[in-house]
Structure 1
Amino acid sequence: MLLSGKTLAWISRNNKDNISNNLQIIGWMYYKKYDSLLTLCENFKNLKSFKIYSEVIELLQKEISKSEEKDSLEKCISFLNECPKADGILEESIKNLIEDAINKTHKNDISSQQKLFENWLSTREEKLNEQIQRLSRAQRIVEVEKKQKELEVQEQKLWFFENEEKIDLEIENKEKLHTSTEKNDIDVNDENYIPPEILPKRK
């Protein structure tokens, strides 16, 4: 219970609304920091905007029966009885406060999600355009390479037709040379072969 009271006191002190002020009283009470509680109640007595919930005074009265610091608690009740009374029930007021906070957070969450979705759409479109541009460049490169190959083939064909007569002439000369070589190639094993006459050397 001490830890719960400490947590409630420290959390509620960060807010200045009336509900948080009432919860802060409860927190210091359960934390059994009666000096701090007494100072707080005296300050709230002089705070015009503060209104005390009847449930808080009832909790203080119950605490008196269990505590040895009866005088401090009775003084706290005395200070708080001088404060205006809050309308409604503390528990219901807390529920309404939580619902309001949820609704505000809910709206902020929706707004944040919408912005995130819009950013995602923008980023998606940007990346898609980049991908399309890359594909387009790659396709153009393929087309250029294909065109270069076609030009090379056309160039080879043109070169062949321009040099066709020269090529035919070279082929014809090679065939003549081959035929002439065959005629001059005499078989020494032939029966009609007559070796050349060898003359004596002159002295």
Structure 2
Amino acid sequence: MWKTVRICERLAVQLKNVSNCKRTFLSDAYRCDEAWNKRLASPLLEKVDLEKFYILLSQKYSRETKANAVDIDIFANAISGDGEEIDELIDLLYKLRRTSETSLMLDSTHYAVVRSFIKANRIDGLLNVLHDRVNYGVFPDHCALNILIDSLVKSKDYTSAARAAVLLMLQEDFENEISNALVVYACHMYLKNPGDTWKEPEPVVDTSKEVVKVRVRFLRNPYFDDHFDLQKPAHLVGKTLSMYGKHMGDSIGRTYQLIGLTFYGKYDAATSLVREWTQNDTKQVLYRDGLELVKNELAKIAESEITDQIKALNEELKMLEAADLVNESLEAAMEKRVKDAVSQFEEKDIASQLENFPKWENQRQSVIDQQLAELDRKQRLENVAKIKKDLEERERVLTFFENEEKIDLIIESRENEEENKPTEIKQQNAKDEDYIPPEVHSRARQTR
């Protein structure tokens, strides 16, 4: 009897866990796990010992100060576990970025980096790599980013999901409909559940007491491009919602456009937008709970920081309350938009991934074949040069007595050059000692 009770308790816990598990927007088929894992069975990747391969690549970089793009691609794609290979991959990406080979990074490398980090559950490290484009240069495609954002939404890590979504805004990328919907949904959920792990980077403060003066030709004026230089999370998320809301263009899009401009701090643009909607008497202009979100955000601003632009926006929002507003849930509407995009375009993305996997494998093998052919060509040229040098040595020995007078003249001219070198050096040193810089010489003339 007690055995039956314990079994029932375990079943109840499992059912509770299943009920609490949030279903992802993307299906399991979207990840193409079976097709992706087949890469490890390729003759090239199955022979790779990651530990030895990393040591070999590190030694090669130390010796030649040059990392090879296809080698990094092989390492990234050969990762199958969740061990220390991730740290080694970060190091290799950093080294590759500092060579001319970074422009030859293969498309499969970007995709493999994201999949490897997700499998190892190294989300913070992945986001740091993706946002540090200067030092790592990883730009994943839509499918990889969709898988990343979807997995973060499932785990309710909305802060990380928003950090991933911002990447597409920085690239001004609107090509993939699933990505567009997931980006807006992730940012919406972040504003609703803001985390404390995404903070603005603190400015670097030089604590050294030593004063170092450096002569510079000119000083650069401070410049802020209002895009890649954005650091505040609210501004990044706000600009993302503003851009993608404008791209959507309907009631949902207008709502997120207003929310985005408010969090972005563009109060004049938000005021002009609201004034345009009210003057044109736009039908179903935006969602009421989105308007409340904007008003709550403006209410958080301290009294001392309220400007004329904020006051003007508040006045326009009061006029907007009497407009034709949608009373449905904005979150539910956006969630439906994501599901519709997935149902419509999921098969297309799956087919794209299944097409890319073998194409990337063939591309990798083609690059390796080209490099092997180039190495073989260089080796044959070196062999030809060596044979030619040996023949010249043999010819010199065989024709020594015929060219004895010419050889004596060459030896004599070289000896004369060696004898004249010390005299030339002494003369040059004497000139250097008598040399007076132009500035000092002009001052001497002025004192006379």
| TM-score, scaled relative to structure 1 | 0.50
Q: Which one has the largest radius of gyration?
A: 1
| TM-score, scaled relative to structure 2 | 0.24
